[in-house]
Amino acid sequence: MNAPAQPIKFHRFTLSGHSHRAELFLSLLGLPVEPIDVDLAGGEQKSPAYLAMNSFGQVPVIQDGDVTVADSNAILVYLASRYGSETWLPRDPAGAAQVQRWLSVAAGQVAYGPCAARLVTVFKATFNPDEVIARAHALFAIMEKELAASPFLVGEHATIADVANYTYIAHAPEGNVSLDAYPAIRAWLARVEALPGFVPMPKTAIGLAA
């Protein structure tokens, strides 16, 4: 693995699960990082300078030398391709497709399930709580079956699929989504947390986590 010539600039918001995906993977890879906190409350993400990095005005963004990458899942793919081994992002077509499947879940069912439920309690988002909590449990029922047969989302080793899905599922209780009925998911979360270089996202004492 080639180390970057200078620390990777990491534009983040510490309570954002999307930001934590990138922060976690940067740490798992042991890469040098210059964290830069974005003032979301002050609207910094809508400033011309920030929009030049990410036209959607969202966190996270990384700057690796002259390369700028926005979107948490895109950042995972970039870092795995640039600095990671094939265990993080398989190069074979079948393995790559399996990882992509779970990146799609992270951007779909997770975003509109446990992520949205947490947005309601932590950030006062206007989603229907019952609806997004139900979506979360529908997703978890499927994940529970798959993780009962496999230690990680794609086989025997952690990949960026696990990194992409970990944070909002681990923090689902903050959005009033209980993990009590999902022992395989809880065991998977523990396996991710045992990876060398793991860093947690700060917990919020709200919802079931209050």
Q: What is the pLDDT of residues 20-64, one digit of tens each?
A: 999 999 999 999 999 999 999 899 999 999 999 999 999 999 999
Q: Pick from 83, 113, 145: which residue ends a domain? A: 83
Q: In terms of domains, do 56 and 121 share one?
A: no
Residue type, 73: N
CATH assignment at residue 43:
3.40.30.10
Percent of the chain residues past pLDDT 70, beyond the cut: 100
Residue 2 lies in a domain: no
Range of the domain at 119: 93-209
The reported pTM is: 0.96
Q: Return left, alpha or beta for 113; rule: phi > 0 is left, psi -120 to 50 is alpha, else beta.
A: alpha
Q: In terms of domains, do 74 and 153 share one?
A: no
185 and 147 Cβ atoms separated by less than 8 Å: yes
57 and 67 Cβ atoms separated by less than 8 Å: no
Structure tokens at 35: 């964290």
Tell me the C-alpha distance between 142 and 26, whole Å. Answer: 29
What is the domain count for the chain? 2
CATH assignment at residue 193:
1.20.1050.10
Q: In terms of domains, do 69 and 142 share one?
A: no
Q: In terms of domains, do 130 and 193 share one?
A: yes
Q: Pick from 63, 83, 103: which residue ends a domain? A: 83
pLDDT in tens, 144-155: 999 999 999 999
Give the list of residues 6+ apart from residue 139 with CB closer than 8 angstroms, or none. 105, 109, 110, 113, 114
Rg over CA atoms, the chain: 17
Q: Pick from 35, 57, 83: which residue ends a domain? A: 83
Residue 136 lies in a domain: yes
**pLDDT surpasses 70 at 1:** no
